[in-house]
Amino acid sequence: MKYIKSFKIFESNEEDIKSDVNDILIDLIDDKARINVDFFKGSFQGKDLLDITIYFDNMYNDGIDVSKYKDNIIHLLSYVGEDGLGFEFSELSIGSDEDYDIICPECGSEDIEYGEQDYYKNGAIMNTCNVCGHKEQEDSFLHKNNKLKKFEEVKEFFSKPNGYEVSSVTFEFIKK
């Protein structure tokens, strides 16, 4: 079954949204992906954030063809976006088991101390730069090549047949 529910335009609660996201991504769940939906009330300049992470680590050995899920992703973006829940796409962070650069977004240093989960920051894992002392959520330290900020780049990423060694993708949305 491709989609169980269509999206609702009226206000939804967090459990309804989690259920709808899981319904939209049912093809990925059927293929053993894990889905995590997190809400951060007022955490970005007083606006709500919605993070949706898809973990592919149970699904592949030598890479995964993410283009197989293009229709699910387009439906997800429509559901969460302006025509649905009213969130604006912010960025897509791509996690990989391959080596990729972890750098400080402030000074460019690769000398990063990996942090523990910080329950005072909505359960986020906080990393710290050992050079300038900058402390932020772990995905902020990914090299720019591991983040897509434009909607068209995301569509392109999920449109091309590929064998990326992608372990996860995290969509970040900001409430308008």
Helix (H, G, I), strand (E, B) or coil at 32: coil
pLDDT of residue 8: 45
Q: In the predicted model, is pLDDT for residue 72 greater than 90?
A: yes
What are phi and psi for residue 44, nearest 5 degrees?
-120, 100
Helix (H, G, I), strand (E, B) or coil at 176: coil
Whether the pTM exceeds 0.85: the reply is: no
pLDDT digits (tens, 9 = 90+) for 22-70: 999 999 999 888 999 998 887 777 888 899 999 887 666 555 778 888 9
pLDDT of residue 165: 64
Q: Name the range with the highest mean pLDDT among 20-24, 42-46, 109-113, 156-160.
A: 20-24
